Structure 1
Amino acid sequence: MSSGLSLPEEDLSCPVCCDIFRDPVLLPCSHSFCRECLQRYWETSGARSCPVCRRRSSRRNPPANLALRNLCEAFAQDRVRREATEAGQLCPQHGERLKLFCQEDQLPICVVCQASKTHKGHECLPLEEAAVDCRAELKAALKTLQDQLAALNKQRSNVDMTLEHIELQAQSISKRIKDKFLKLHQFLFEEEKAALSSLRKEEEARLHTIKEKAVSTAETIDSFSETIRSLQQEVAANDLTVLQRFKTAMKRVQCSEPETELASGLLMDEAKHLGNLKFRVWEKMRSVAPHFPVILDPNTAHPCLSLSDDLTALQHRSPAPRLPSNPERFHMSAEALCSTGFCAGTHSWVVDSTGNQDWILGLAYRSVQRSAEISARPENGFWTLCLRDGVYRAMTSPPTVLTLSGKPRQIKVELDWEGGELSFTDSEEGVTLYMFTQTFEETVLPYFYTQSKHPLRILPEPASVTRGV
């Protein structure tokens, strides 16, 4: 009991029901009982006697014990107040019931707090209304975290696939390097060892990087899972608890959005190891070896494209294998870029399209969109020539149909970056098919598209080469 009441709780309890008196009545023997308890006892016993001392009462309706009722009501109110205080339902500063929620301070307050200087002028809502808003906000935050967790789980799957793909890439590159070196003279043995050593170091470095990413992703997932479990408990709590813990809970979820995509450059750099390999060795040997002015980059190729071992030819294949969803790769159509980019100088390469009736050739900015299907036109960062349904078109806006006297098999692409010119020529006939004029603003890369099973082949050129950036 509180200090305002002198009687212990047992003196305020009915001898029949052993609970606090409800509507107590007083018998002539001075014993008191709940009116309902006494009537029920009399009905059961068949006699109007005191349940304690058995003294008979001459009155059918004993008088109410007003003093005892007042004491019991005061005791009940005091117990409710104590329980409310212990449950945090009363203001610790003013002892009043918490009925409002301060929007500015995000705290439950009482009516006295609202009138105080601390919260004067602040927008306040009834607890019930504020709880609805705060619970909705917590649910939204929970949904965001759950979505981010789903994205992280998807990333973990892609990380696992990337690990496997890097290992397969390394095995494939190793095999092709060995096949090429087998065709060289024995004194090239030391060059082969150097190339394989470089490959192993890169494999180890990239595997180390992606494994660190896997560990980091797993730790982030654990952290998000723990936060979600905590928020689920917060959301399931009663209104007041939600409001009391809302500010702290929101601080826990106001973290930066996790990175849910792999960074660029995680895959093995096949072009570095295989591109112009024979030519680079030839420079040391001072002997003849084919040189290709541009090399396809497998990490950009859509999975439906198959690239040759020396990365100089591509063709459509079906079904497409499952490959990691790395940022460099085209995801929507059968496109690929070369590994060599140009931001200065003049450059040229020849593509043999013999037998291929569905292709697009040209240039693209390095920054072109790769996760959406867009037209290969200048406004999207492409400058290309197209053959489809037997019709040659320059992919301007709208496309320009070309009237040609023949069907060129070898298309020469010539770029003058500073001069802003890109021309397409029938390499065998020496006839210009079309020329784009464009002020280039960033690095451009050779671009290829095909849905034909007949390959597009980049042809070798004499050893005198202008290297790309």
Structure 2
Amino acid sequence: MASALAGELTCVVCSDLYSSPVLLTCHHSFCLVCVRKLAKGLERRHKNTVENHDETTADVITCPQCGQETSLEEKVVDDLPRNFLLQNIVKGYLKDNGKEGRKMSVSEFEGKLALCDFCVGSSAAAMTCVECRLAYCSRCLPVVHPPRGNLARHTLRKPEVEEEERIRCPQHGETVTIYCSSCQTTICMQCDRSGRHRGHDRSDLTHACQATKGDLESSVRGLNERNSEIGNFVKRLSKACGTVQVNGLRLVEEVHQQCTELHQLIEQRERSMLGTVYREMEKKLCVFEDQITVYKGQQRKGEGLVQFSREALQEQDKAAFLQTVHSLIARVRETTEDRPALTFPTRPSFENLNLDLEDAKIQLEKIDLLDNNNVLSDSGVKLERKDSERSV
């Protein structure tokens, strides 16, 4: 809660807690020092267009937050209305949370509320002059605002005292005591007597505060209800995150299990097909090896007969040669004519086994998760009141 409140109490220009916050026409608040710097930037921008003037002033200040312009034609930055409500809330916040991560104490903050209008480094003001409406540090006060002469009659006050003064009418300088509901502004008695608010709904500050506080409390209750709904919805979203993780991991496990079964089935079919190939290969090998054995036996027998015949041709005893040569010739001719046909007993290819997995591949490529078009939009999740009545 404290960190959320700190965001409301932080100036968007200096990114620090508001110090002497002033209101622009757009009702956005900024530190007085920050607005002074904005005005000085405009002064430097318009300096070349202003002639025969030692000092220049900016005509308008552009709000850094919304861009709306605040006219300064008839006033200076220090005349801008102070946001005392915001300033008091910042003081209370520092008193309650000053020890929680912040180095600036309440006294340091109150000293920072008013800065010296003459120091280059803008030192903390020690005194402010009610008549001059200027702040002085302890070094500049005796020099710029001496205690003698005409300035001796001016009223000097500490910045803390000045900041605790009641809001005064910017036109007449009197303390405001009346609230004009029609104009939604506080006015003084002179404003009321001038007739500018004649016919308007006017009341004293006490009744106006009670009425507007009631409106604010009613609005805050509505905002609290909305914040409560958002908080409950955030809890449901957090619970949904856990559900997403559980369901996602469950689906991951299911996908893994199903794909494992597919792998096992494919491996089973692979082993079956490989077994068929190995059995067919073994049959073919057995046939070829039997044929090889037969032909090798015939080859050895023929080679032996050839060698025997060559030895017979070398015989010198003519009678011995002629005694058995005719039977040898008959054996050679018989062996030559009795050779088997030189043909393969079977084909070495596996044309009888056709491997066609195209249909299976197509089916595998079709394996996917079913999509019910339940996809979250990239535009984000809209938080509506009816969302809180739905179940995850």
More helix by share: 2
TM-score (norm 1): 0.24
User: Whose RCO is larger (CA < 8 A, sep 6+)?
Assistant: 1
TM-score (norm 2): 0.29
Larger Rg belongs to: 2
